Amino acid sequence: MDFRLSPQHAAFQDEVNAFVDGLPAREDPAFDEVVQRELAKRGWVALAWPKEYGGIGASPMQQMVFNEIMGYRRIRASSMGTMWVGPSLMVYGTPEQKERWLPKITTGEDVWCTLYSEPGAGSDLAALQTRAIRDGDEYVVSGQKIWTSGAHHSNWGWLAARTDPDAPKHRGISMFCLRMDSPGITIRPLVNMAGNHEFNEVFFDNVRIPASQRVGEENRGWYALAVALDFERSSIGSTSGARRSLDDFIDVVRAGTLRLTDQTRSRLTDCVIAAQVLRFVGYRIAAEQERTGTAPTLLAQMAKLCAMELNQRVTSMTMQVMGMAGQAHDPSSELDAYSQGFLRSVANTIEGGTSEIQRNVIATRGLGLPRG
Ligand SMILES: Cc1cc2nc3c(=O)[nH]c(=O)nc-3n(C[C@H](O)[C@H](O)[C@H](O)COP(=O)(O)OP(=O)(O)OC[C@H]3O[C@@H](n4cnc5c(N)ncnc54)[C@H](O)[C@@H]3O)c2cc1C
């Protein structure tokens, strides 16, 4: 096995690193705008998409190289639009729908949120109750969504709603694209335990959606939803964030201000080994995808599960080593990142499907174990 990158991929790695080196300082108020503009200019917002939709048709390995650098250098380069709304539209959208929505995802003009979860439908997503009733050329939507990340910054929503309440629960769902400023939508903030407004409750009171904005066949939305969830859970290269946190922490420890016990030294080493293994798993996923043309979804799900749990191990270990100092909640202090990181990481094993559900999927679809 040869672990080295090919000369082309190594050259691309240098190019992406040089791009990041050339960005303005993170404190610069124009930072996010510059990143978005420069990524769009290079076709790097959704690297793997065809040129006509704003990508460069990158190979999985090139995508892996890019994602790894962006994750490690803490640059937010992807969005729900690029990670699962766009890829699902490419599979299920009509040519007009692709033309209408895909290019504006890569230019950053449109920002999407994901409207799946409801108070009574999270892991059991097929139990969702939000109704979409056909009325001539429109659907009328009523109901409630919850945990909608970024709804307050989004102009479009990717919605799962029930179009046939009498059909078995997986067979009465349809997918829609809707404008988030449609009359009848109310967005209420939910503040997480780190004190941040990241997600929301979204209420629909007779919201009208043109029928042309339904994606895929009526009542067959579950299949589009399953594909979108696969895209969400199989994003390659998502493990480098934990590796960066570890490297930063090791720098702090080396500087000599923190003391490690034998036990924490051993936990730190375990995390470093796990991060390195996950890195190679990421490259294996990309290599298999290049070889076979399809994503090894189960391997990618395992990588997502392990990466999320590793991140929690890293944040809890750093908190333990930092002692009382790690609990500081003061945005003006450098230490704030540790407590924020710890509090935020709790959600890692819930968002995008809980670890328990991921394990069930790996057990049944991957290992062929019988359902309980
Ligand atoms: C930070 C964050 C961002 C999110 N963003 C979005 C978003 O943008 N859009 C969106 O639609 N949703 C979003 N979600 C919601 C997320 O997808 C759900 O929280 C998740 O799917 C779990 O659903 P639930 O909260 O209803 O928990 P439940 O399904 O009620 O689960 C509760 C517990 O029971 C366990 N459990 C449930 N069923 C089983 C089973 N069959 N076997 C074993 N254990 C089981 C679960 O693992 C969990 O521990 C977000 C969540 C978080 C934390």
- At 236 the pLDDT is 60
Q: Which atom of ligand 1 is nearest to the CA of 116?
A: 11
- At 164 the pLDDT is 98
Mean pLDDT of 1-24: 94
Q: Which atom of ligand 1 is nearest to the CA of 360?
A: 42
Cβ neighbourhood burial of 26 (10 Å; 0-12, 13-18, 19+): exposed
More confident residue, 335 or 253: 253
Give the residue whose CA is nearest to atom 2 of ligand 1: 351
Q: How far is the CA of 352 from the centre of ligand 1 (A)?
A: 7
Find residue 203's DSSP bridge partners.
Answer: 144, 186
More confident residue, 103 or 241: 103
Q: How far is the CA of 357 from the centre of ligand 1 (A)?
A: 9
Alpha-carbon distance of 313 to 22, in angstroms, equals 33
Q: How far is the CA of 65 from the centre of ligand 1 (A)?
A: 30
Where does the pLDDT of residue 322 fall: very low under 50, low under 70, confident under 90, or very high at 90 and above?
confident
Q: How far is the CA of 290 from the centre of ligand 1 (A)?
A: 32
Q: What is the per-residue pLDDT across 169-222, written as a single tens digit (0 to 9) for each?
A: 999 999 999 999 999 999 999 999 988 999 999 999 999 999 999 999 999 999
Q: What is the per-residue pLDDT across 281-309, written as a single tens digit (0 to 9) for each?
A: 988 988 888 898 887 888 888 988 999 99
Q: How far is the CA of 296 from the centre of ligand 1 (A)?
A: 24
The rounded percent of the chain whose pLDDT value lies above 90 is 74
Pairing of strands 173-179, 185-191: unpaired
Cβ neighbourhood burial of 271 (10 Å; 0-12, 13-18, 19+): buried
Pocket of ligand 1 from Cβ distances under 6 Å: 113-117, 122-123, 147-149, 199, 347, 350-351, 353-354, 356-357, 360
Pocket probe for ligand 1: among 80, 114, 123, the residue whose CB has the most ligand atoms within 8 Å is: 123
* Helix, strand, or coil (residue 200): strand
Alpha-carbon distance of 310 to 239, in angstroms, equals 9
Mean pLDDT of 127-146: 98
pLDDT, the chain, mean? 92
Asked if 232 is an active-site residue, the reply is: yes
- Closest by alpha carbon to 293, among 60, 88, 93? 60
Pocket probe for ligand 1: among 84, 231, 354, 369, the residue whose CB has the most ligand atoms within 8 Å is: 354
Q: Which pTM was predicted?
A: 0.94
Q: Which atom of ligand 1 is nearest to the CA of 145?
A: 11
Evaluate if residue 235 carries a pLDDT over 80: no
Active-site residue, from 232, 290, 309, 351:
232
Tokens of 215: 């994606």
Alpha-carbon distance of 322 to 175, in angstroms, equals 46
